[in-house]
């Protein structure tokens, strides 16, 4: 049994209480390759390496079966808001 | 199959201590710097080459024990794994982000001057 996108999402939700989360299955269905974007208050005051370690730790069980995990974003709600706003102004320009 | 025993033996740990301190920049990767065998590893090689710093690469595909042991040693589940001055810096995503925001250049400059 492979790891599903839903399983990755629920583990991250349970451990990191994200205000926004996006998990994309990039394996073409075999469930072993994911890209993750996650926004959580728990990242506050943490360096990027620590944030990624938190994500890896939350997925400890799943990592045994995941072949590739790309953590595209691990940001705080504040950073997320800023990024959304700058994306909006970029696309408007 | 269930594997309970740790791959990181005391011998392997002391070897890894020496390896990560043997060069200022050490990259454990899939393939070699001349023949990367994975896109993620290749990305980090290209970034390091663009920084004009000397770096050593170690092919984890050639040694399964090393590959398993390193995951425990770094507390990091995937490859590539970049070490700077004996300290774990990160995997591909972290290296890319640090490269884009200038932090990687800072850390490398500091390492080269030490």
pTM listed for this prediction: 0.83
Closest partner residue to B90 among A52, A66, A68, by Cβ? A52
Closest partner residue to A71 among B75, B93, B98, by Cβ? B93
Show pLDDT as tens, one digit a residue, over chain A (93 residues). 578 899 999 999 999 999 999 999 988 755 588 999 999 999 999 999 999 999 999 999 998 888 888 999 999 999 999 988 888 887 765
Does B36 have pLDDT greater than 90? yes
Per-residue pLDDT averaged across B8-31, rounded? Answer: 95
Is the CB of B94 less than 8 angstroms away from the CB of A48?
Answer: yes
Nearest Cα of chain A lies from the Cα of B34 at a distance, in angstroms, of 22
- pLDDT value of position A88: 82
pLDDT digits (tens, 9 = 90+) for B46-88: 999 999 999 999 999 999 999 999 998 998 888 999 999 999 9
Q: Any chain B CB within 8 A of the CB of A49? A: yes
> Which value does ipTM take for this structure?
0.73
Q: Any chain B CB within 8 A of the CB of A53? A: yes
Let me know: does A4 contact A27? Beta carbons within 8 Å: no
Q: Which residues of A touch B78 (CB under 8 A)?
A: 63, 68-69
Which alpha helices (DSSP H) does chain B contain, by range? 10-22, 39-50, 64-74, 92-100, 103-113
- pLDDT value of position B4: 57
> B68-102: buried (b, 16+ CB within 10 Å) or exposed (e) per residue?
bbbbebbebbbbbbbbbbeebbbbbbbbbbbbeee
Q: Any chain A CB within 8 A of the CB of B87? A: no
Is the CB of A48 less than 8 angstroms away from the CB of B76?
Answer: no
Separate counts of helices (H) and strands (E) for chain B = 5, 4
Does B5 have pLDDT greater than 80? no
Let me know: does B61 contact B100? Beta carbons within 8 Å: no
> A26-58: buried (b, 16+ CB within 10 Å) or exposed (e) per residue?
ebeeebbbbbbbbbbebbeeeebbebbbbbbeb
Q: Which residue has the higher pLDDT, A24 or B114?
A: A24
Does B2 have pLDDT greater than 60? no
């Amino acid at each position: 049994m492979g790891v599903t996108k839903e399983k990755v999402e629920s583990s991250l939700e349970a451990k990191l209480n994200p205000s926004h989360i996006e998990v994309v299955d990039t394996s073409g269905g075999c469930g072993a390759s994911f890209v993750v974007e996650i926004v959580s208050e728990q990242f506050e005051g943490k360096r990027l390496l620590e944030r990624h370690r938190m994500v890896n730790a939350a997925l400890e069980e799943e990592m045994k079966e995941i072949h590739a995990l790309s953590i595209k974003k691990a940001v705080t709600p504040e950073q997320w808001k800023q990024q959304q706003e700058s994306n909006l102004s970029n696309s408007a320009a | 199959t269930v594997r309970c025993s740790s791959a990181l033996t005391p011998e392997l740990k002391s070897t890894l201590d020496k390896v990560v301190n043997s060069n200022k920049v050490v990259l454990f990767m899939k393939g070699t710097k001349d023949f990367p065998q994975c896109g993620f590893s290749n990305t980090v090689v290209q970034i390091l080459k663009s920084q004009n710093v000397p770096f050593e690469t170690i092919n984890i595909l050639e040694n399964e024990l090393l590959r398993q042991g390193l995951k425990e040693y770094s507390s990091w589940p995937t490859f590539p794994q970049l070490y700077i001055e004996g300290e774990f810096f990160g995997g591909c995503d972290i290296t890319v982000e640090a490269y884009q925001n200038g932090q990687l250049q800072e850390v490398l400059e500091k390492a080269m001057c030490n």
